[in-house]
Amino acid sequence: MAPQFPGRRTDPFHPPAELAVGPPARVRLRNGSEHWLISRLDEARDVLTDPRFSADDQHPGFPRAFPLPPEPGALSFLRMDDPEHGRLRRVLTTEFTVRRINAMRPAIERMVDDLLDGLEPPVDLVSRFAFPLPSLVICDLLGVPYADHDFFQERSMASLSLVLSKEETAAALADLGEYLSRLVRDKVRRPTDDLLGRVAERRVITGELTEDELAVMARLLLVAGHETTANLLAFGTLSLLRHPAQLAALRADPALVRPAVEELLRHLTITHLGLPRVALEPVDVGDVRVSAGEGVLVYLSSANRDADHFEEPDALNIHRPPVHHVAFGYGMHQCIGQTLARVELDVAFARLFARFPDLRLDCDVSDIRFRDGEFVYGVHALPVTW
Ligand code: HEM
């Protein structure tokens, strides 16, 4: 029988052995449906750049590793194909330029310092640092009042849970939608100098974009920009604490923080459910013919450990020469927030380890609960002390 996807990790730091790099293979989701697992890096890139594979979850056969409500458009352009995907994504490109994101660096540094100032040992780094930081940053970027962050952090986590019921995840998404619709309506009336205010002024008032389209897009940004960075930060901290020699090298040479972030992105590949697509017509992937209507899961966790591209792929090595991993995806849907995520992670790791030179785990690794049941992999809590 086809192995279960996403399977159970025997070692939380590595993807399950039965999903390791290999030719396209059948896997079975919890809902019983079977799809093709794409785990080689070259084939992953081929699928993600091939317009014969659709990201539109309304197609029958689309893999649902995740019990999100199937209502059309719930995840904005993440689950659309061009030209509609491009029309909506382009609305945001000027907001995510390297120049604009780099201009946020001083504000991000202040946010990191303020959060670190508030920490007393022992502390849970997930709830006190890893989640609040991206939450503050995304609120600031979008123009969402931070005072409301408990409300949307809770809903955002619930909307991405694999263990809650379909009704609960749907209710969380609906709450977030209502909140953001109200906010967008206010911004259309009184534009403010933030992402939602600027897009409201330039695109909604001009009739290019509807209020609803902007509200759904805001929800995607909020959820996508929040969980991912937070989990990489916490899981990345744990990984570095388990490699003291590499952590010491990083502390001695702050320039190593950039390669360290890239290596953590590659090695941890927190989007452990892969990227779902469905074939619109028959496509050959390697030696396999994927029929029209069949689903594929592009399994980034294994693609990022393809021995044809990465030396000693299972080892965490922050001294690795620059590599082209696919932790942010590839092709037309490649992560729009990657520059922002990199700035947040650079600043956060650099300052965390500089501020607390004897930061250490305050429990056994075996006591840590990993996020098997969530959309984004990581740790539920990270007790540390110094
Ligand atoms: C898309 C990963 C941070 C917003 C993606 C995709 C991946 C990814 C793998 C591709 C999805 C697909 O092809 O189906 C990550 C990781 C992050 C991160 C690992 C942090 C460590 C962020 C941040 C934001 C963001 C900070 C927003 C501020 C988005 C959006 C898309 C996306 C809007 C959809 C792009 C499209 O469909 O054209 N991300 N992301 N992400 N990401 Fe991220």
Per-residue pLDDT of the chain (386 residues; tens, 9 = 90+): 899 999 999 999 999 999 999 999 999 998 899 999 999 999 999 999 999 999 999 999 999 887 665 577 888 999 999 999 999 999 999 999 999 999 999 999 999 999 999 999 999 999 999 999 998 999 899 998 877 877 877 787 777 766 677 788 888 888 888 999 999 999 999 999 999 999 999 999 899 999 999 999 998 998 888 889 999 999 999 999 999 999 999 999 999 999 999 999 999 999 999 999 999 999 999 999 999 999 999 999 999 999 999 999 999 999 999 989 999 999 999 999 999 999 999 999 999 999 999 999 999 999 999 998 888 999 999 999 99
Question: Can you read off the two tokens belonging to residue 282?
Answer: 């028959």
Query: Does any ligand 1 atom lie closer than 6 A to the CB of residue 77?
Result: yes
Q: What is the pLDDT of residue 69?
A: 58
Cα angle value 227/307/17 (rounded, 5°): 65
**Ligand 1 mean position, distance from CA 148 (Å):** 23
**Ligand 1 mean position, distance from CA 334 (Å):** 7
Q: How far apart are CA 7 and CA 20, in angstroms?
A: 11
Query: Does any ligand 1 atom lie closer than 6 A to the CB of residue 108?
Result: no
**Ligand 1 mean position, distance from CA 66 (Å):** 17
**Ligand 1 mean position, distance from CA 220 (Å):** 9
Query: Does any ligand 1 atom lie closer than 6 A to the CB of residue 270?
Result: yes
User: Could you tell me the sign of the dihedral formed by the alpha carbons of 353, 355, 357, 359, in that order?
Assistant: negative
Domains of the chain, with CATH numbers?
17-77+93-385 (1.10.630.10)
**Ligand 1 mean position, distance from CA 335 (Å):** 4
* Predicted TM-score (pTM) of this structure: 0.96
Q: What is the pLDDT of residue 147?
A: 79
**Ligand 1 mean position, distance from CA 328 (Å):** 6
Query: Does any ligand 1 atom lie closer than 6 A to the CB of residue 229?
Result: yes
**Ligand 1 mean position, distance from CA 336 (Å):** 6
Would you give the DSSP letter of residue 17? G
Name the residue of 54, 80, 228 to mutate for ligand 1: max ligand atoms within 8 A of Cβ: 228
- In this structure, the number of other CB atoms found within 10 A of the CB of residue 167 comes to 10
Identity of the amino acid at 311: E
Residues 35, 63: contact at Cβ < 8 Å? Answer: yes
**Ligand 1, atom 31: nearest CA belongs to which residue?**
335
- In this prediction the ipTM stands at 0.99
Q: What is the pLDDT of residue 129?
A: 97
Query: Does any ligand 1 atom lie closer than 6 A to the CB of residue 285?
Result: no
Q: What is the pLDDT of residue 376?
A: 93
Query: Does any ligand 1 atom lie closer than 6 A to the CB of residue 341?
Result: yes
Q: What is the pLDDT of residue 344?
A: 98
User: What's the gap between Cα 278 and its chain centre?
Assistant: 21
From residue 311, how far is each of 44, 261, 267, 307, 323 by CA, in Å? 18, 18, 12, 6, 10
Query: Does any ligand 1 atom lie closer than 6 A to the CB of residue 330?
Result: no
Query: Does any ligand 1 atom lie closer than 6 A to the CB of residue 302?
Result: no
Q: How far apart are CA 272 and CA 274, in angstroms?
A: 5
Q: Report the phi/psi class of residue 122: left, alpha or beta, with left for phi > 0 and alpha for psi in -120 to 50.
A: beta
Query: Does any ligand 1 atom lie closer than 6 A to the CB of residue 142?
Result: no
Q: What is the pLDDT of residue 162?
A: 67
Q: How far apart are CA 119 and CA 25, in angstroms?
A: 47
Q: What is the pLDDT of residue 36?
A: 98
Atom of ligand 1 at shortest distance to CA of 78?
37
Q: What is the pLDDT of residue 356?
A: 97
Residues 226, 134: contact at Cβ < 8 Å? Answer: yes
Query: DSSP H helical segments within the chain, as ranges?
Result: 41-49, 84-93, 98-102, 105-117, 125, 132-142, 149-159, 166-189, 195-199, 211-241, 244-252, 257-268, 300-303, 338-355
Q: How far apart are CA 267 and CA 239, in angstroms?
A: 10
**If you count them, how many residues does the chain have?**
386
Task: Give the 3-state secondary structure of residue 58.
Answer: coil
